[in-house]
């Protein structure tokens, strides 16, 4: 498969969409990002790399970090994790409070904010030094020792994070948070603030694409069956209230973030990341969605 030619071709085809959608501005620091950029990187399990545009430009990975925090929490808690959250698509916005109230403080899945806030709480309970252990894990799987948090983005999000604070309070009320709420929120926002580029993210997601072997990164251990299941949750819950649409149009497991990134995997073959900050009304990158739809259409490679 000539992935480079296909990527170059699609890169061209999606450029007319560059002004569609709006970048996230509810996190003040993200409103300052240049919205008119696109980066792509596809990495194969046999070590090839194909890229286009701003593939080395770091951006705020936001909710893409929820895949990494889930991997760590699942390796620590195993089956017990599912006592504290579900694994069903939510069908509501990522920051919705309504469903959490109706379902007595048990988030639908680990990829909506409520679920990821419980995951942050789990990491705080288990890890001796959560902030450094988490970033070390992300550095290891991305193959980049310079990947880091952006503390000012985290502070900027905390300054306006009233809805996530409400979610954390509701979780605490239902005894689904063990630690101090402020500490949990700060750690959650910090994980969201990590900056990576398309190449680094594709490296990290390759670890999940290789689901036939166990995942073992410096003590974060998942069996191949657990990796398969993380992929299943990406497939059903990775794209907010548009997970069905992404599955329908693209047909790959993946995860998006409001920083404009989308990482997706074709199991046993490749991981691909697209970055373009303008989002559709569901919070997914307009160009990212279109790019991946065209990629699986033109290559005829998807899990379906
Ligand atoms: N930090 C963001 C929030 O909690 C993450 C949102 C996202 O990327 O989905 O609102």
pLDDT tens by residue, 31-67: 999 999 999 999 999 999 999 999 999 999 999 999 9
pLDDT of residue 93 exceeding 80, the answer is: no
Residues in the chain: 304
For residue 130, how many C-alpha atoms fall within 13 Å in the half-sphere facing its CB?
Answer: 21
Query: What integer pLDDT is reported at residue 29 of this predicted model?
Result: 87
Does the CB atom of residue 260 touch ligand 1 within 6 A? no
**Ligand 1 geometric centre to CA of 257 (Å):** 7
Does the CB atom of residue 256 touch ligand 1 within 6 A? no
Residue nearest to atom 4 of ligand 1 (CA): 113
| Tokens coding 107 | 């988030």
pLDDT of residue 95 exceeding 90, the answer is: no
pLDDT of residue 213 exceeding 90, the answer is: no
| Tokens coding 163 | 């809805």
Return the percentage of the chain with pLDDT > 90, whole number.
93
Query: What integer pLDDT is reported at residue 92 of this predicted model?
Result: 82
Q: For residue 90, give every residue at least 6 positions away whose Cβ sits within 8 Å of its Cβ, in sequence order, or none.
A: 96, 99, 108, 109, 112, 237, 241
Task: Provide the 8-state DSSP code for 47.
Answer: S
Written out in words, the top-level CATH class of the domain with range 63-192 is alpha beta
**Ligand 1 geometric centre to CA of 114 (Å):** 10
Does the CB atom of residue 192 touch ligand 1 within 6 A? yes
Are the C-beta atoms of residues 271 and 295 closer than 8 Å to each other? no
Answer whether 0.95 is exceeded by the pTM: yes
Nearest atom in ligand 1 to the alpha carbon of residue 157 is 1
Residue nearest to atom 2 of ligand 1 (CA): 62
Q: For residue 261, give every residue at least 6 positions away whose Cβ sits within 8 Å of its Cβ, in sequence order, or none.
A: 59, 61, 62, 64, 196, 198, 201, 273, 274, 275, 285, 288
Report CA dihedral (169, 170, 173, 177) to the nearest 10 degrees: -70
**Ligand 1 geometric centre to CA of 93 (Å):** 11
Are the C-beta atoms of residues 186 and 154 closer than 8 Å to each other? yes
Residue nearest to atom 7 of ligand 1 (CA): 63
Handedness of CA 44, 50, 53, 59 (dihedral sign): positive
Give pLDDT tens digits for 164-199.
Answer: 999 999 999 999 999 999 999 999 999 999 999 999
The torsion angles phi and psi of 251, rounded to 5 degrees, stand at 75, 35
At 211, is the pLDDT very low, low, confident or very high (cuts 50, 70, 90)?
Answer: confident
| Tokens coding 45 | 């399990």
CATH assignment of 3-26+33-58+197-299, given 3.10.450.50, 3.30.565.10, 3.40.710.10, 3.40.50.620? 3.40.710.10
Element (H, E) at 273: strand 270-275
- What would the mean pLDDT of 125-129 be, rounded to a whole number? 97
pLDDT of residue 135 exceeding 80, the answer is: yes
Does the CB atom of residue 285 touch ligand 1 within 6 A? no
Does the CB atom of residue 94 touch ligand 1 within 6 A? yes
In the chain, ranges of CATH 3.40.710.10 domains: 3-26+33-58+197-299, 63-192
């Amino acid at each position: 498969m000539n992935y480079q030619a296909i990527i170059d071709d699609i890169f061209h085809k999606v450029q007319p969409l560059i002004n569609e959608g709006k970048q996230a501005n509810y996190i003040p620091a993200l409103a300052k990002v240049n919205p008119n950029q696109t980066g792509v990187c596809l990495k194969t399990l046999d070590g090839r790399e194909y890229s286009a545009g701003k593939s080395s430009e770091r951006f705020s990975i936001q909710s893409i970090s929820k895949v990494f925090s889930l991997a760590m929490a699942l390796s620590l808690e195993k089956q017990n994790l599912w006592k504290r959250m579900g694994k069903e698509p939510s069908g509501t916005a990522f920051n919705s409070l309504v469903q959490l109230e109706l379902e007595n403080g048990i988030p639908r899945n680990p990829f909506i904010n409520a679920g990821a806030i419980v995951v942050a709480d789990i990491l705080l309970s288990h890890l001796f030094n959560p902030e450094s252990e988490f970033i070390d894990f992300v550095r290891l799987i991305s193959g980049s020792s310079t990947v880091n948090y952006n503390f000012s983005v985290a502070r900027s999000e905390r300054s306006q994070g009233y809805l996530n604070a409400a979610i954390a309070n509701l979780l605490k009320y239902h005894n689904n948070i063990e630690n101090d709420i402020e500490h949990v929120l700060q750690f959650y926002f910090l994980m969201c603030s990590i900056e990576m580029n398309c190449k680094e993210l594709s490296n990290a997601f390759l670890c999940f694409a290789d689901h036939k072997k166990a995942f073992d990164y410096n003590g974060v251990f998942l069996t191949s069956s657990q990796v398969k299941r993380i992929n299943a949750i990406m497939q059903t819950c990775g794209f907010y209230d548009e997970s069905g649409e992404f599955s329908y149009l693209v047909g790959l497991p993946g995860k998006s973030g409001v920083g404009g990134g989308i990482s997706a995997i074709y199991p046993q073959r490749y991981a691909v990341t697209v970055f373009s900050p303008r989002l559709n009304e569901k919070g997914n990158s307009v160009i990212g969605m279109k790019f991946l739809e065209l990629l699986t259409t033109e290559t005829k490679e998807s899990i379906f």
